[in-house]
């Protein structure tokens, strides 16, 4: 737009007309705009809806480089606007709740210390042990609507599954998990305004977590049980000289919820939607699952992440010094947003990038990020995604969209990409 302030540094001006970003059409299908940016303005300075200006990185090679570049800090104190006391970056409710010291907002050495402490909860072995519980949750949720012959897959399936899974992992007692479901529902439904329901929900979650941590600390035994929950494990670490503050324990619990919830909702939602729009691919998958083959399910879920993944833009990064990304000079303090959705459709890296090919093997997609902040929960997300999709297609083999694709509404948040609802119908069982 003409009113946009001139970029601080631009090697060459972006040729007009750059596509309008953050419109309704863009939220529905951002891929044509991203293709334009990759071709014409691969590192593009733009004003976000909040007014903050940021660089969007859209080519695969640049994206991968930026995600692993230690000069790009995750700590919002490096934002040039923060230096002037007007930084608008971050989730306002989260900031006021003092849950800021989490993995996605910190750099080494704090990041290394905190990530090491929590990573043992996400080893493939720990996650595999969780598989029966994820299957049980999946079966229970599907049984709740299977008899009706129709459902909204977002609200009745994709949304509750990860919430209950994360609550179990953290050690939130079953009787309290519906409260979490309500708070998370507020977070996903009502934007991220500072005074809205989100801030209230974050506050309730924080109070609850503080009490839960306190209660668990009081009752913690001397010897850890083999299946000890994550919060207890973190308390144990903090009590044994690991320099983990009580606030860091709460912030860790919060980021696991925040990072592991809406993402998984969108993997199940976007993934199911992509399968329903690509009948031949869906049939291929259904046949292979029936045959007891899990290989296509595994490559298929990775392809769904590449094709229309839950995280459209990686979280904020800030230049700690002047640097170059993709030939573009970036000033110290400038925010950089890596557009994973654009990078993962880059024809310079992926053959036929706009085609959904569940058999794709050469698929180093960036859907889980890259570098030291690579998704910690990826093994859990894979388990949930594979279990959810396989069970849906097995239990409801003739599942189909119950609305025109044009009538579906996308959330249009800045970081996440997901559907507001996904009405489906099927033969009741």
Residue nearest to ligand HEM (CB): 377
CB of 180 to ligand HEM, least distance (A): 13
Nearer to ligand HEM, 99 or 166 (CB): 166
CB of 420 to ligand HEM, least distance (A): 18
The candidate with the shortest Cα–Cα distance to 94, out of 85, 103, 86, is 103
Nearer to ligand HEM, 343 or 426 (CB): 343
- The conformational region for residue 90 under phi > 0 = left, psi -120 to 50 = alpha, else beta, is left
Helix axes of 378-395 and 295-308: crossing angle, nearest 10 degrees: 110
The DSSP result for 135-203, as a single string, is HHHHHHHHHHHHTTTEEEHIIIIITHHHHHHHHHHHT--GGGHHHHHHHHHHHHHS---SSSHHHHHHH
Whose tokens are 């990530």? That residue is 115
Q: How far is Cα 233 from Cα 171, in angstroms, rounded to an integer?
A: 10
Nearer to ligand HEM, 384 or 426 (CB): 384
Q: How far is Cα 272 from Cα 422, in angstroms, rounded to an integer?
A: 9
Q: List the beta bridge partners of residue 335.
A: 318
Q: How far is Cα 26 from Cα 68, in angstroms, rounded to an integer?
A: 28
CB of 383 to ligand HEM, least distance (A): 9
CB of 169 to ligand HEM, least distance (A): 7
Q: How far is Cα 179 from Cα 71, in angstroms, rounded to an integer?
A: 40
Nearer to ligand HEM, 113 or 420 (CB): 113
CB of 406 to ligand HEM, least distance (A): 26
Spell out the residues 6+ positions from residue 262 whose beta carbon is closer than 8 angstroms to its own: 187, 188, 310, 416, 418
Nearer to ligand HEM, 162 or 326 (CB): 162
- The conformational region for residue 53 under phi > 0 = left, psi -120 to 50 = alpha, else beta, is beta
Q: How far is Cα 33 from Cα 39, in angstroms, rounded to an integer?
A: 10
Nearer to ligand HEM, 87 or 426 (CB): 87
**Are the C-beta atoms of residues 331 and 8 closer than 8 Å to each other?**
yes
Nearer to ligand HEM, 187 or 255 (CB): 255
CB of 368 to ligand HEM, least distance (A): 5
**Structure-token pair, residue 231:** 């919060």
Whose tokens are 């179990």? That residue is 168
Residues that bind ligand HEM (CB under 6 A): 67, 103-104, 115, 166, 255-256, 259-260, 263-264, 267, 305, 309-311, 314-315, 367-369, 373, 375-377, 380-381, 385
CB of 166 to ligand HEM, least distance (A): 5
Opening angle at CA 178, ends 130 and 401, nearest 5: 75
Nearer to ligand HEM, 35 or 339 (CB): 339
Nearer to ligand HEM, 164 or 426 (CB): 164
Q: List the beta bridge partners of residue 318.
A: 73, 335
The candidate with the shortest Cα–Cα distance to 419, out of 266, 302, 275, 276, is 266
CB of 301 to ligand HEM, least distance (A): 9
CB of 291 to ligand HEM, least distance (A): 25
CB of 64 to ligand HEM, least distance (A): 12
Nearer to ligand HEM, 285 or 314 (CB): 314
């Amino acid at each position: 737009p003409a009113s946009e302030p001139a970029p601080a540094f631009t090697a060459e001006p972006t040729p007009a007309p750059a596509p309008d970003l953050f419109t309704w059409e863009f939220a529905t299908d951002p891929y044509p705009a991203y293709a334009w940016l990759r071709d014409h303005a691969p590192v593009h300075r733009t004003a976000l809806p909040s007014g903050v200006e940021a660089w969007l990185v859209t080519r695969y090679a640049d994206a991968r480089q930026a995600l692993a570049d230690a000069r790009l800090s995750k700590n919002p104190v490096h934002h040039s606007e923060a230096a002037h006391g007007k930084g608008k970056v971050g989730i306002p409710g989260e900031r006021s709740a003092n849950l800021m010291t989490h993995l996605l907002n910190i750099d080494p050495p704090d990041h290394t210390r905190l990530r090491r402490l929590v990573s043992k909860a996400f080893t493939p072995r720990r996650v595999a042990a969780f598989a029966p519980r994820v299957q049980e949750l999946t079966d229970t949720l599907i049984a709740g609507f299977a008899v009706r012959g129709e459902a909204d897959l977002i609200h009745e399936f994709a949304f509750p599954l990860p919430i209950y899974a994360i609550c179990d992992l953290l050690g939130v007692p079953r009787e309290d998990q519906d409260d979490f479901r309500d708070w998370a529902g507020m977070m996903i439904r009502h934007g991220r305004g500072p005074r809205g329901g989100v801030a209230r929900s974050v506050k309730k979650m924080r109070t609850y977590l503080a009490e839960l941590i306190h209660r668990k600390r009081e009752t913690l035994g001397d010897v850890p049980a083999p299946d000890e929950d994550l919060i207890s494990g973190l308390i144990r670490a903090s009590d044994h000289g690991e320099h983990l503050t009580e606030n860091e324990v709460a912030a860790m619990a919060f980021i696991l919820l925040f990072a592991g919830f809406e993402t998984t909702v969108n993997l199940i939602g976007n993934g199911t939607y992509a399968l329903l729009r690509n009948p031949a691919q869906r049939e291929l998958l259904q046949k292979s699952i029936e045959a007891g083959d899990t290989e296509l399910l595994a490559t298929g879920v990775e392809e769904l992440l590449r094709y229309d993944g839950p995280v459209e833009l990686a979280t904020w990064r800030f230049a700690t010094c002047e640097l170059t990304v993709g030939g573009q000079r970036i000033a110290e303090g400038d925010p950089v947003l890596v557009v994973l959705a654009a990078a993962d459709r880059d024809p310079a890296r992926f053959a036929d990038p706009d085609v959904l090919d569940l058999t794709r093997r050469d698929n180093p997609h960036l859907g889980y990020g890259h570098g030291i902040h690579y998704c910690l929960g990826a093994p859990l997300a894979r388990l949930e995604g594979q279990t959810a999709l396989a069970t849906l297609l097995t239990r409801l083999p003739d599942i189909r969209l119950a609305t025109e694709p044009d009538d579906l509404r996308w959330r249009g948040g800045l970081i996440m990409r997901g559907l507001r609802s996904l009405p489906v119908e099927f033969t009741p069982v």
